[in-house]
């Protein structure tokens, strides 16, 4: 995901999370998805790149 894409999605954190998960080809549980949504909503768009690490640390990712 490019910086320009992230910046263009600044007002749509949920869509960014969905895009990130689609590009990672990963489907988390509904609880984990909600955690990612909450994180994206509580941060600025330029901090969203750290969500890659959050996804990699999800319990279901560890078991994949």
Rounded to whole angstroms, how far apart are CA atoms 17 and 29?
Answer: 13
Residue at token pair 């590009």:
23
pLDDT at 2: 87
Average pLDDT of the chain to the nearest whole number: 92
Number of H helices, E strands in the chain: 5, 0
Judge if pTM exceeds 0.85.
yes
pLDDT (tens digit, 9 = 90+) per residue, 33-58?
999 999 999 999 999 989 999 999 99
Work out the burial of residue 20: count CB atoms within 10 Å of its CB; fewer than 13 is exposed, 13-18 middle, 19 or more buried: buried
pLDDT (tens digit, 9 = 90+) per residue, 6-33?
899 999 999 999 999 999 999 999 999 9
């Amino acid at each position: 995901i490019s910086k320009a894409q992230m910046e263009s999605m600044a007002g749509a954190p949920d869509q960014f999370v969905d895009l990130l998960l689609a590009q990672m080809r990963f489907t988390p549980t509904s609880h984990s998805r909600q955690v990612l949504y909450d994180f994206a909503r509580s941060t600025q768009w330029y901090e969203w790149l750290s969500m890659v690490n959050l996804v990699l640390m999800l319990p279901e990712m560890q078991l994949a």
